[in-house]
Structure formats: C-alpha cells, structure tokens
Structure 1
Amino acid sequence: MTGDDEPAGRRVGRRPKLLKAAGLTLAALLVLGAGGAGWTYWHLNDNITGVDINTALGDDRPPRSGATPAASAAPSSVPSGSLNILVLGSDSRSGAENAELGGGGEDSGARSDTAMVVHLDEGRTTATVVSIPRDTLVTRPSCPLPSGRSTAPADGVMFNSAYAVGGPVCAVKTVETLTGVRMDHYIEIDFSGFAELVDALGGVTVTTDEDIDDEDSHLTLEAGTHHLDGEQALALARTRHGVGDGSDLGRITLQQDLVKALLDQVSTTDLLTSPSKLYDVADTVTSNLTTDSELDSLTALMSLGHSLADLTSDRVDMVTMPVVPAPWDRNRVVAQEPEAGEVWESLR
C-alpha cells in the first residue's frame, strides 16, 4: 500500500444511462420476437461494462439497507427494501467524440462532473434524488486501485477528485464516507453516451425560466420551452455561467430539471411500436453503460427497470445537499450541518 494518487485502470467509453430507460427498454426489446432474441440478448449483454466495487471495498462500509439485490429479484416481483444508487456523470475527455462534445483535449483523466444519489423507496413508486455539488470540499479516504496500491487520503479536497484519482471505486467510497449511506449500486454516464441516449429517444423537451447564453457550454436559449437534441441537452447539463449566481448550484438546478424531462420522455415514448427505435435505444444504453457488478447483466437491469414501471417524474423529489461557502475558500462549499446529515439520515 502506498500514498500515490495513481490513476485507476478502467475501460473508457462505456458509461451508463438512465436508470428507468435501461431496464424498461431492455425488457421490452426481448419480448419483440423469438427469432433474434438469442443474438440480441448476447449482443446487448456483452455491451455492458461492470466494476466489482463490492470486492474492492470489502466489509468496511455502511450496512446495506436490506434490499433484495436486483440480480436475484424476479422481473415480475417488486424488490423488497429501499435502494440507494450513485449515479455519476463523467467529464472524461478521452476519445474523439467526448473531446468534441466536452471541448477537451487528449487528457485521459476524468472527474465526476455530476453526482446524484438516487434513493428508491421500498415500493419503487417514489424516489428522492440528492445532488452533491462537485465543488464540495470533503475528506477523501484512501481508496484501493486495480494495481494493488492505494490512493492517499486527503482532507479538504474537491469531491470530484475522488473519481479522478481512483475511478468508480473511490467515488463510491468517498460518497459513503461523506454520507454514511451504503451505495447499493453504481451507474455512470459520460458526454457522448448522454447525448446519444437523448438523440435515440428523439430529443427532450425542457422549459427554461431565463435566457441562457453560456460561452463555455456553447448554449444559447431564450426563456421558454424548447425541444433539444442530444448535443444541446448535454450543453444544458453543463451550463453554469449566466444562470443564477453562476455557481455549480445553478447548474445542478438545470440538471435536475433535465432528469425529470428525460423521465417524462421515456414515459411518453412508445418504443414497442418501433422495434428499430427500441433496439437503437437499448444498444445505446448498454454500449455506454458502466455499473457495479451486481447490475452488469440484462437480467439485473430488466428486473430493476421493471420495478420502476410506476415511477413518474411527479413522484421524484429533487434536492441538493445543503452546503455553505467554505470559510477558507469562498469559491468552494462544504456540507451544512446538521441539515446535510439529516438529509442522509432520511435515506438510510
């Protein structure tokens, strides 16, 4: 074990998608016809990338909520217990497509540009999504690396540095250290994967309360309702300048509105009437998917997706972890206590 902040080895380019879209579209695809079902199942299942977070972190973690693991729950049953899922958006600049969308260079490093803890209630009819500002200063624990070494622990560092130095494993461990809540599952999406999913769904309709003109995200929108393609939706998710106070908190509000709009788009898109579109969505989902090892199969994703069939956007409560400016750095924030602790306690 060493204190080197060694980049975590990982496969680049296959990152996750929307929780509900993944399970529901995959489940629907497999009932379209028996002829190509075998090849389709093999192809989509082979697309998925998994990370064995449980083995890497061992037993030194918060206790499980008592939920039925997705992989073992029958698709026709509602899983018991609540679930907490860490959903990350990665700002990876690797690959030509991500570099073009993100405006980055050749750097293969990445950070968790967006982080949401999704809490699904026992009946899967309501959910709470808690956003963690990426500018939050946290204690980053020592994290195991695939090489057998470890990252150095650090105090007062940016939350999104955990992913940069230790990949998904360190991101999960840092969130669990911050919240005291066990992350039952992990899902991640990068620039190109998010944009491709929005395009595969036919775009997404959003309403903005103010004009947006952000030179960094290259997005210009007048206040009002707009139907966005994938590249525009990604730009909206990354917009912070000219919105609210220009901080990450303003961007989080846009991201939360966008998540709800995507849930509505999934709910209103009848994919079963268009097998080719359904396949495009399912292929996009799985080919950009990275999950924990308990979710890295079609069976597990179908089970989880089926359990979310009754979850609509009006039953999703979007909140942000309470924060205050850091006393020693006004450009950063720290968790506001006891309010932040009360939020995390409600998810246990």
Structure 2
Amino acid sequence: MSRKRSPARASRRRSVGRSLTSGGWVAVATTAMVIGGSLTAYGAYYDIYGNISQENIDRDALGDSPAKVEGVVNIMVIGSDVRTGDNADYGTAEGERPDTLVIAHLSPSRGSATLVNLPRDSLVALPDCPATETKPGQAAHRAMIGEAMNNGGVQCLWKTVQELTGVHIDHFVSVDFTGFKGMVDSLGGVDMCIPTDLKDEKAKLDLKAGQQTLNGEQSLAYVRSRYAQGDGSDLGRIERQQEFMGAMLRKVTSGDTLSSPTTLYDFLGSVTESITTDDEFTVDTMADIAITMREVDLGNIKFVTVPNGQAPDDPNRIAWREPDASQLFQAIASDTGLDTDAPEKDEEEKEEEPEPAEADVAPAAPAEVSVTVHNGTDVSGLAAEIAATLQAEGFVIAGTGNPEGAPPERTTVYHDTGLRSHAQAVAEALPDATVEELPGIGTTVRLVLAGDQHGPGGEDTAALPSSVEAVDATAKQNACG
C-alpha cells in the first residue's frame, strides 16, 4: 500500500497511524463532519483538506465486503499505539496496534450518529492477511483485535472489522497524540467535572477534584489514564472517553465556537493536520457528509460499547457476548437504529401464534451438555465467538465448524431422542433459537447458527438487548458542587 500527501504538505513527515490513544478523535471526527459545512468559504475547506495524509487501500483485496446501505457512512476510527516522532514523549511501545478502535456510523436519513467502541482487549477470530512491504502478514488465528494492524496494517484491520461485525466500512481515519492536544487547545480547552483528585504518572495525569477547563495536555492525560480511575480496565477507560467526547462535542457545537470563524477554522485546521485517511475520503465526500450531518442534534449522537464479558481462556482479556454483540452489529449494518426495546405484538398477533410442536422441558445444567457450534452465516469467526460464550457459561464445547448442507432459516439446536433438555439449555442461552429433534446424531447436541445471529442476513429491524447501553452526547456522568 502506498501513501500520498497533498503537495502543500509534502515536506512534512508523519507516521501512518500515529494516532489518538483513547478516543477523543471520535468526537473530533463526528464533529468535523457535522460542522464542516458551516465554513462559509468552500475554498477554505479545500485548503484545510490539503493538510491530510492519505493511504491507499486495495478494496478488492478486502474480499466480499458486507452490503452497503445507501446514504449511510461507516468510518473506522483507529488510534495507533506506535510511539515515534513527536509522540515519543509518551513512552515506548513495540509494533503498531490500535489503542482505540471505533466504528462511527453516520445516518443522515435518521439524523443520527452512533459511535461503537471495539475494546482493544477483545480476543477475536482474526482473518488471513497477506504480507506487505512493511508488515509480515498473518494466518487466521484467535488473538487480540489490534494484532491485525500490527501484522497487516490498516488494510488488514479494515478486513478484520468487516468480517467480525458484518458492517460495511466506507473509510478510515486516525490522529496522533500531539494533534489531539492541538485540537483541544484550539477550542480554548474542554470543560469537565473531575469527581476526585486524579494522579497517574504513567499517563502524566495530575488533576484536582472540581469543575475545570482542561487544556490539551491535561485532556490527553485524562483520556489516556487507566490506573488513576476506576478498576484500571480498558472498559472503565472507555466510559471516561465517552464522557469526554460528549463534553468536547458540546464545546465544539456551542454558540461561541460556531459563531467564531477564526476558532472554527483553527479547530478544523488542527483536525486535518493530525489525521490520516484512506485515499477515497476526498474533500467532496467530506463536504457531502458535513452538509447532510450538520443538523444532527447532540441527543442523537450515541456512544455504545460492544457487549462483552471475561474471555474464558484469559481472565485479563474480554470476549464479545453473543448474541448481544451480533444484534448490535445487525442494527448498525442495516441502519435500523438503536431501539433497545423489542416491539410488542398486539393481542391479535399473540392469539395467532402457533403452539410449539413439542412442549418445552426443564433445561439441563450447562455442565451436563456437550455441544458443537456450526457457523451457517457469512460472519467469519462467529462460531468460535459463540462457542467461547457458551463455554464461559459452563457448557462443554465439543468442536466448531461449518454445517453440512444449507443452514436452517432460523438458528436451531438439534438433539437426539431423549436429549431435548440438553438442547433446551443451549437454546435458552441464545434468544430466538429453536429446538429440533434429529434422531441418531448422538449425545452431543448440534447448534447451527443462521442469519438471525448476524447483521447482513438478519431481519430488517433490530431490537437490541438490554445489555447495550447507549449514552448520548448531552449526558453528563459527573456533577460538581
């Protein structure tokens, strides 16, 4: 893959993927899209665009990409852990992995933006990626999601995200540590409530409790810190990042910022000087997004994190919880919104529901159930992910693979005669799964995943489980005095 730069900035050196360590760019990216169209001089927007570094992405090499929803834009926001150039002041790190990974889902027809955090501690099924001029490539294996970028670059990470989520990715952006500081400083700081005194030498954080305006250096330390706040986990840090994103969006979209051409121009100049994008993310594309998204209300900008739990094979890592994660991705992939309440059927519909062919029985204890998981969807690695979740709940996993023949239309747990209680236990762990007797298959039940367990092949609507908690940009988690 090759990179190119506007001639106006050809002499400026910058590492690909040197980026914001903890999610502030998500606020920046969305905000720039929302208000970029507010620049009165279109030529000024072109001038600012000339600052951006770009990288070529071979879209043909991504394989079969998920279906694209017309009018929707999904941007992969990455923050690299590489420490070079100006970023060397923030420690050393081997290789290049995303410290932050987010899907920014922009839906003009719904007047909304949804920012989905994919935690860096996620253990997932990584796809095969070829070697590049600077990367060794990788065979398909299970590892932390960021290894895809370290082994195969941005293109491999792009492929990984699409295969794991079933969400069509249109573009990517990244930003560096020092650029983030400049963005905050161009706004005159970001107002935050700090609930208690915070000190984290590793993140260069030293803040007193109370309402205050954080400058760029303080903001960077606040969103980078893991050990001064909460339980020190990446999930706890993501919650703080989302809080900061909301505060930054409120500041950028405030009357003072938008009414000052100088402040607005300085802010967008800081944004573009600090990012790398794919080569198809043109100024016209950015302008189109800005025009269609600039009326989005802050209450319609949502922050969510992929539902997750402790990985069964590593207590220091997490696994995405199924089917909750797939239902979230289904909503994003099909642009059906983040309605966390399933629609209620009316009484007439309820009366017409057929009786089950076989009465349910009390489910067996998970430890008594041996199950194989077969992936009948086009989501790579889904069988392994659901198998890990079932194993964490106590089920005995006898293997994973693909089904023989065409998969059923609905996720089904097949069982031999007399083992319905075993199948019932598995079905209850997967909402909407059905149970069917298949004499002669033996003492191990067979779970076959169908289209209702992933995005592109799912229903046209997506009611999300209660575990998906969306926080909008107007929310303030902390209150001072």
TM-score range, shorter chain: 0.7 to 0.9
Please state how far the C-alpha of 1:131 moved relative to its aligned partner.
0.7
Which of 197, 204, 207 aligns to 1:218? It is 204
User: 8 Å contact 1:92–1:190 — kept in the other structure?
Assistant: no
CA-CA distance at 1:248 after TM superposition: 0.5
Query: In terms of mean alpha carbon deviation, does 169-178 or 303-312 score higher?
Result: 303-312
Report 1 or 2 for greater relative contact order, CA contacts < 8 Å, sequence distance ≥ 6.
1
State the Cα deviation string for residues 88-122 of structure 1 (Å, max 9, x = none): 12222010x2111x2237x6x42210111122224
Preserved CA contact (<8 Å) 2:137 2:151: yes
Q: Distance in 2 between matches of 1:315 and 1:211?
A: 32
| 1:12 matched to 2:12 | no
Q: CA RMSD in A?
A: 2.7
**Pair 147,114 (structure 1): closer, same or farther in 2 beyond 3 Å:** same
| One-letter code aligned to 2:121 | D
Letter in 2 for 1:330: P
Q: Distance in 1 between matches of 2:263 and 2:216?
A: 16
Distance 1:289 1:324, change over 3 A: same
Give the corresponding residue for 1:74. none
Evaluate the alpha carbon distance shift between residue 148 and residue 103 of structure 1 in structure 2; reply closer, same or farther with a 3 A threshold: closer
The 3-state SS of whatever aligns with 1:47 is coil
Aligned to 2:92: 104
Letter in 2 for 1:48: I
Aligned-residue offset at 1:148: 10
Q: What residue in structure 2 maps to residue 31 of structure 1?
A: 41
Say if 2:103 and 2:116, in contact at 8 Å, map to a contact too. yes
- Report the alpha carbon displacement of residue 269 of structure 1 after superposing the two structures with TM: 5.5
**Aligned-residue offset at 1:59:** 4.3
Instruction: Say how many residue pairs are matched.
Output: 316
| Offset, 1:158 | 1.2
Secondary structure of the equivalent of 2:295?
coil
Matching residue within 20, 32, 46 for 1:22:
32
72, 76, 84: which is aligned to 1:94?
84
Q: CA deviation at 1:219?
A: 1.1
1:345 aligns with 2:348: no
Residue 270 (structure 1) shift: 3.8
For 1:267 and 1:9, locate their aligned partners in 2 and report how far apart those are by CA, in whole Å: 35
Shifted more, 260-269 versus 22-31: the winner is: 22-31
SS in 1 for 2:128: coil
Alpha-carbon distance, 1:263 to partner:
0.9
Instruction: Check the 8 A contact 1:130/1:319 in 2, yes or no.
Output: yes
| 1:138 Cα deviation after fit | 1.2
Runs of 5+ in structure 1 lacking a partner?
A: 1-7, 68-81
2:284 aligned residue: 299
Is 2:311 the partner of 1:326? yes
Q: In structure 1, what is the Cα distance between the partners aligned to 2:2 and 2:152?
A: 8
Which protein shows a greater Rg? 2
1 CA distance for matches of 2:123 and 2:63?
Answer: 26
CA, structure 1 residues 332+44, in 2 after alignment: closer, same or farther (shift >3 Å)?
Answer: same
Structure 2: 5+ residue runs without aligned partners?
4-13, 334-481
CA distance in 2, matches of 1:257, 1:245: 17
CA distance in 2, matches of 1:148, 1:215: 33
Q: Which moved more, 1:251-260 or 1:264-273?
A: 264-273
Identity among equivalent positions (%) equals 37
Q: 1:133 aligns with which of 116, 119, 135?
A: 119
For 1:238 and 1:159, the matched residues in 2 are separated by 19
Q: Deviations along 1:222-247, whole A, 9 cap, x unmatched?
A: 44322111111111111111322211
Match of 1:62 among 62, 66, 73: 66
Deviates more, 1:312-321 or 1:13-22: 13-22
> Residue deviations 1:4-32, cap 9 Å, x none?
xxxx7765167685224434565444528
- Answer yes or no: is the 8 Å Cα contact 1:89–1:114 preserved in 2: yes
Instruction: Check conservation: 1:201, 1:269, Cα contact below 8 A.
Output: no
Q: Deviations over 1:18-63 (max 9, x none)?
A: 224434565444528xxxx4xx556433222223335353442212
2:166 is the alignment partner of 1:162: no
Deviation digits for residues 232-268 of structure 1 (CA, Å, limit 9, x no counterpart) = 1111111111322211000000111111111111101
Counterpart-to-counterpart distance in 2, 1:268 and 1:233: 19
